[in-house]
Chains A and B, each alone.
Chain A
Amino acid sequence: MATPAPRPRIRLDKKEAKKGDLVEVKALVAHIMESGQRKDKDGNVIPRKIINKFTCEVNGQLVFAADLEPAVSANPYLQFKFKAEETGKVVLTWIDDDGTKIVGEDTITVS
C-alpha cells in the first residue's frame, strides 16, 4: 500500500474490570475490502484485497478470532467480548491478503 497503514479504532466498554467480568470490544479499521468480484471500466477484474483474518489476544492469550471473506463490508467492524482474567495488554491484529499486519492495542486493568 502506498498510504501508511490506517490506525484502527478500538473501544473497550470498561478500562477496569473485576476478574471474571465480561469486557466488550468494538473495533474498526479503514480498509476497502476489495472483493475480487468487481470489474473496472475496461472490464478487467479488480484483484481481491481484503482483511482475511482478525485476532484478539489478551496478555498473549488468544480470546477471539475471525476469518473474514470478501462479503464482509469495507472498513470491517468487529464486536465481541472476552473474560477478564488479569491486567494486561489487549492486542488486536488485522491481516491483509498481502500479509500486511495492522495492529492496535489497548489495556485492561483487572482487580
Chain B
Amino acid sequence: MNLKSIAVFFVVLFVGMGSAVAHHHDGEIDEVLKAIDVVPTRAQLDHNLKNAQERIIHAMNDTKRNEYERQRAITLLSLYPNQKTKDALLEGFRTFENPQLKKYTIYTLARTFGEASDDSIRQAIAQAKNDESLDVRKFAKLAEKYLQPKTTEPSVK
C-alpha cells in the first residue's frame, strides 16, 4: 500500500465518519427530548451533556426526529438566551414548513428575549401574524405579549 492509497483511505474514512456524525441520532439527548413533564435547568443540561446548546439546535433541525422532540428542542433553547439561540430560531422560523414547529420558534423567540427583542424578532412576529397557518398566527399573538411589560397572575385561592 503506497502513501497515496493510505491518504485516500483516511480521506474516505474521515468523510464517512463526518457523514455518520452528521446523521447520528443523538441518543444521549433523547431522554431530555422525550420527557413528558420535566423542564431541566441549564446547569443540569450543561453538566450532563457536552455542548448541550449545539446539540439541542441540532435536534431542533433533525428531520428524523418526531414533532414533539423537535418542539421540545425549540422551546428548551429558551434556557440559552444568547445570539446563537436567536440566530437558530430566526433561521428555523424562515425555513420550517411545518407550522407546528414554526409557531414555537416565534413564540420561543419572544418569550426568551422578551422586551429586549430586537427588530429582527419584532419583524418575525409581524410576519407570523400574517402566516397562512392559524396556529402560527395564534402563537404570534401569544408571543406579542412577551414584548410588553408583564402583568401579575390573578390571585387564586
B is bound to A: no
Residues of A in contact with B (beta carbons under 8 Å apart): none
